[in-house]
Amino acid sequence: MLFANLQLAANSAVLNHLANKQVTIGGAVVPGIFRNLASEAQLGMGVASSSPVVTVASSAVMAEPVGQEITIDTVRYEILTDDPDDTGLTILTLTVAA
């Protein structure tokens, strides 16, 4: 078996085991690892902001994801950035859609 096939199988097993949300992306529902991180904003001292991120299989991410919408728990998010890790997983940084 090729390493890429082993990597795909491992990623699928990890996502299915660790997924805490179902993500609707590009019309498909896929498992995702969702985190709503609190981070220090550049707005001033002591101002916190929320930077939600979700990790999904790279194969589930559309070709040009930035600006596209996804849904997690009926909440619509816009994709701000995508960060494929070259192992078959992609971290999407989100903001609540207007």
**Domain chopping of the chain, boundaries:** 3-96
Please write the tens of the pLDDT for every residue from 33-92: 999 875 544 555 555 566 899 999 999 999 999 999 999 999 999 999 999 998 889 999
For residue 62, give the nearest of 30, 90, 96, 26 by alpha carbon. Answer: 26
Is 21 in contact with 54 (CB distance < 8 Å)?
yes
Residue tagged 């990890």 (tokens): 14
* Averaged pLDDT, 13-22: 91
CATH second-level architecture of 3-96?
Beta Barrel (2.40)
How much is the average pLDDT of 10-39?
Answer: 89
The closest of 22, 31, 26 to 73, measured between CA atoms, is: 22
**Of 76, 68, 74, nearest in space to 96 by CA:** 76
Bigger pLDDT: 37 vs 5: 5
- pTM of whole model > 0.85? no
Pairing status of strand 89-96 against strand 48-57: antiparallel
